[in-house]
């Protein structure tokens, strides 16, 4: 009993220490630029720098900052660093649409810097940019859509549990974990997948001006390198952050050697959300955190390959 109590105290201590570290890290990195620096006040012609990192699900803060600052007169271009495996379809599309608005309505160049991973929904967001700059080893692509379900029928049987549902229509509980999916339900979900995939595919063809042959070869969910992406037209040029920054400055008519950068001020996150979003390895709590992510429970979301 004493050992269990000591173990519990150790977990609590780990939690407190990690939260302090996370809070410090959030203060440095939540702005999207962190140690790279940037203006604290928007008082001269600048490039708006933003960071799209991780699974695309709740993008309210990102979109709020993009909408707020991109239309300001002193913002002459937008540079977005993307490092994402994808996420839910609708938020990915919304980011794409807002980038298009900045590019076409506000007439301001948007440059995407593809970091380690620009896949699926992350790539959907990126194709709205004026130019896409990637490292040669950047992982890109995964153009496709997937829906994931679990059939736990045998587990319920093993637990001697007999769940039932009262519903208003035959499709209201489609995707339920306590029974097998019917053929007509599979057809329904497949038709939805095909529709969203066609939206994705057509958007890529439109924005990247790619041929059907290229799309037939690469739009099958596969991942390819940044070098291949540039060769076949999914991205524009090879280079790192500095190349992307210079590209944005050049398109905006700013000094390419020392452009002014503005980063939105960090937002104060709730304690639990900060913990959930953190990439810090917190030992005994890491598995528990994965279990309590509320957005993973019982939702037949359109997910991009490689998300979870």
pLDDT digits (tens, 9 = 90+) for 104-143: 999 999 999 999 999 999 999 999 999 999 999 999 999 9
Q: Which of 66-70, 71-75, 84-88, 268-272 has the lowest mean pLDDT?
A: 268-272
Q: Which of 67-81, 139-153, 276-290 has the lowest mean pLDDT?
A: 276-290
CATH number of 2-147+216-303: 3.90.226.10
Beta strands in 101-244 (DSSP E): 110-119, 131-134, 139-141, 146-147, 223-225, 237-238
Nearest 10 degrees: Cα torsion 6, 8, 13, 15: 160
Task: Please give the Cα distance from 274 to 291 (Å, whole number).
Answer: 15
Domain boundaries, the chain: 2-147+216-303
Strands 139-141 and 110-119: parallel
Taking each helix axis from N to C end, the angle separating 89-100 and 183-208, rounded to the nearest 10 degrees, works out to: 20
Q: Which of 235, 219, 216, 218 is nearest to 227 (CA)?
A: 235
Task: Please give the Cα distance from 69 to 62 (Å, whole number).
Answer: 11
**Does the annotation count 172 as an active-site position?**
yes
More confident residue, 274 or 224: 224
Task: Give the per-residue pLDDT at 267.
Answer: 73
Task: Give the per-residue pLDDT at 173.
Answer: 87
Q: Which of 81, 84, 75 is nearest to 107 (CA)?
A: 75
Q: Which of 119, 121, 66, 114 is nearest to 91 (CA)?
A: 121
Tell me the Cα Rg of the chain.
22
Task: Please give the Cα distance from 175 to 186 (Å, whole number).
Answer: 9
Total-model pTM = 0.75
- The fraction of the chain above a pLDDT of 90, given in percent, is 60
Q: Which of 172, 180, 206, 217 is catalytic?
A: 172
Q: Which of 138-142, 155-159, 214-218 has the lowest mean pLDDT?
A: 155-159
Confidence of residue 148 (pLDDT cuts 50, 70, 90): confident
Q: Which of 70, 92, 120, 278 is catalytic?
A: 120
| Residue 199, pLDDT above cutoff 80 | yes
DSSP of 29-89 = HTTS-GGG--BSS--SSEEEEEEEES-BS--HHHHHHHHHHHTSTTEEEEEEEEEE--BBH
């Amino acid at each position: 009993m004493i050992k269990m109590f000591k173990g519990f105290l150790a977990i609590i201590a780990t939690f407190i220490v990690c939260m302090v570290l996370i809070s410090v890290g959030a203060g440095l990195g939540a702005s999207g630029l962190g140690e790279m620096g940037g203006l604290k006040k928007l008082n001269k012609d600048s490039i708006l720098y933003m960071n799209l990192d991780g699974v695309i699900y709740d993008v309210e803060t990102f979109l709020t900052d993009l909408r707020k600052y991109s239309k300001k007169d002193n913002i002459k271009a937008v540079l977005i660093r993307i490092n994402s495996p994808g996420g839910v379809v609708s938020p990915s599309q919304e980011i794409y649409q807002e980038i298009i608005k900045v590019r076409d309505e506000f007439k301001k160049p948007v440059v995407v810097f593809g970091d380690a991973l620009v896949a699926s929904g992350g790539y959907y967001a990126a194709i709205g940019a004026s130019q896409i700059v990637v490292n040669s080893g950047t992982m890109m692509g995964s153009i496709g859509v997937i829906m994931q379900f679990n059939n736990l029928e045998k587990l319920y049987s093993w637990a001697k549990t007999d769940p039932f549902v009262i519903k208003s229509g035959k499709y209201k509980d489609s995707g339920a974990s306590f029974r097998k999916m019917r053929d007509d339900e599979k057809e329904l979900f497949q038709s939805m997948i095909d529709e969203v995939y066609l939206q994705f595919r057509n958007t890529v063809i439109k924005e990247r001006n790619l041929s059907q042959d290229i799309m037939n070869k690469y739009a099958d969910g596969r991942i390819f390198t940044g070098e291949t992406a540039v060769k076949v037209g999914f991205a524009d040029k090879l280079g790192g952050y500095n190349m992307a920054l210079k590209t944005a400055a050049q398109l905006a008519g700013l000094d390419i050697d020392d452009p002014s950068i503005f980063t939105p001020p960090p937002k104060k996150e709730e304690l639990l959300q900060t913990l959930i979003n953190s990439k810090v390895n917190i030992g005994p709590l890491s598995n528990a955190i994965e279990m309590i992510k509320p957005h993973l429970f019982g939702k037949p979301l359109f997910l991009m390959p490689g998300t979870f």
